[in-house]
Amino acid sequence: MIVVDTSAWVEFFTEGEGAAADRIGFELERGRVALAILPVIVTELLQGFRSDLDFERALRIVRRLPCLSPGFATHVRAAALYRALRAHGITVRGAVDCIIAATCLDTGAALLTLDRDFRAIARHAGLRLA
C-alpha cells in the first residue's frame, strides 16, 4: 500500500505531470487499491482548491481510496518520532508530517511524497518512500 502525501496530490491535480503525478495516474488507472490516504491529507488537499468543480473532482478521486485513520498510539509514536529526529539535529516543519510518517510506519505502507522532510525521516526512521 502507498500513502499519497499532499505534495504528490498537488503535483497530480495542478501540474498533471512529474514522477509523483505519473505514479498516481498509473495506480488509479490500474484500478487496483494500491493507494491510500489519511484524513489529515484529505483536509490539506481539499482546502487548497479554489473552485467547487475542482474540489468535487478531487473528492471523488480520494473518496475511492482506503483511508488509514491513526489512533492514539500512532499519535504518541509521531511525538516520539519528532523528538528522536530533533535529537539528531533534524527539525521536521510540522507535526502533521510526523503523524503521516508514524501511520506509514505502523501500517507498513510506503509514502509517495515530494516533501523533503520525509526524506530526512526516511533516512533516520526507516520510512519507506515510494
Which triple of cell numbers denotes residue 60?
471523488
- Set out the domains of the chain in order of their start, with CATH numbers: 2-63 (no CATH), 72-125 (3.40.50.1010)
Which helix (H) or strand (E) segment is 42 a member of?
helix 39-46
Q: What is the mean pLDDT of residues 114-118?
A: 93
Average pLDDT for the chain:
94
Confidence class for position 17, pLDDT limits 50, 70, 90: confident
Round to whole Å and give the CA distance between 28 and 22: 10
Q: Smallest Cα–Cα separation from 21: which of 12, 31, 30?
A: 12
The residues with which 111 forms a beta bridge, in sequence order, are 3, 129
* pLDDT tens digits, one per residue of 55-69: 999 999 999 999 999
